[in-house]
Amino acid sequence: MRKVFQEELAHVGEDLIEISKLVSEAIGKATTSFESADVDLAQDVIAADARIDFLQNSLDERAIDILALQGPVASDLRMIVGSLRMSASLERMGDLARHIAQLARLRFPSTVIPEALTGTFKSFAEQDIEIANKLTQLLETRDLEVARDILKANSTVNDLHLSVFKAIARPDWQESPATTVDVALASRYFERFADHGVSVAQKVTYLVTGAWHPNSIEHG
């Protein structure tokens, strides 16, 4: 029975990695469609989100079955509950990538972001893609140095998010109300994507160290 139990736990970990890889693919395609007004690529992201949702549901069902049937001890229980929470964050990251793609589709054939902020949103994209890729690496290796890299990228994203809201609040901001709303929404999507990445990184850190507090990555 113990061998079967360990195999089930391993499957949960493999499912998390698969979802993470799909999230990386989604944010990469979403940001490209967002920057280039590529409506076909945007539609690919929107359609592919169903696969992330399906895998999350399957993982959660597997984890709940383990809880119900296997009676895990404390350390294994931590892994299972952590996996349920991580799958929820990864699924939300997929949703946020889809939202970015939906904005690109909504404004096609125009781009969403005015020229003055294209550099800012290119930086947003680079940081979110890095976070997504690092998450997969973290789930595969449980290397806490990777978790700290995610925290650093998130700090950059927070600074970018603040800079966007300062830009649209300036007296010389001349864009239309629709563009202003789009910019604010897009900034929020990129920022929340990174936040969920940090949430996953914190949970991996907890699984590795057994310590849980908001700064556990930074001080690990």
- Residue 2 is predicted with a pLDDT of 64
- Residue 217 is predicted with a pLDDT of 59
Residue 215 has pLDDT above 70, yes or no: no
Give me 127's structure tokens.
């940081």
Alpha helices in the chain (DSSP H): 2-36, 39-70, 74-107, 118-141, 144-169, 177-209
Measure the CA–CA gap between 218 and 220, rounded to whole angstroms: 6
Which of these CATH numbers, 1.10.10.1150, 1.20.58.220, 3.40.190.10, 1.10.940.10, describes 2-209?
1.20.58.220
Residue 203 has pLDDT above 70, yes or no: yes
Every domain of the chain and the residues it spans: 2-209
pLDDT in tens, 145-188: 999 999 999 999 999 999 999 999 999 999 999 999 999 999 99
Residue 220 has pLDDT above 50, yes or no: no
Q: Quote the pTM value.
A: 0.92
DSSP 117: G
190 burial type by CB count under 10 A (0-12 exposed, 13-18 middle, 19+ buried) = buried
Where does residue 71 fall: left (phi above 0), alpha (psi -120 to 50 degrees), or beta otherwise?
Answer: left
Q: List Cα–Cα distances, 67 to 5, 12, 75, 216, in angstroms.
A: 10, 12, 13, 27
Closest by Cα among 141, 104, 106 to 27 = 104
Residue 61 has pLDDT above 60, yes or no: yes
pLDDT in tens, 71-118: 666 677 888 889 999 999 999 999 999 999 999 999 999 999 999 999
Q: List Cα–Cα distances, 179 to 95, 174, 182, 185, 218, in angstroms.
A: 22, 10, 5, 10, 37
- Residue 67 is predicted with a pLDDT of 81
pLDDT in tens, 2-43: 676 678 888 899 999 999 999 999 999 999 999 999 999 999
- Residue 68 is predicted with a pLDDT of 79
Closest by Cα among 98, 27, 95 to 56 = 95
Nearest-5° Cα angle at 21, 103 to 83: 105
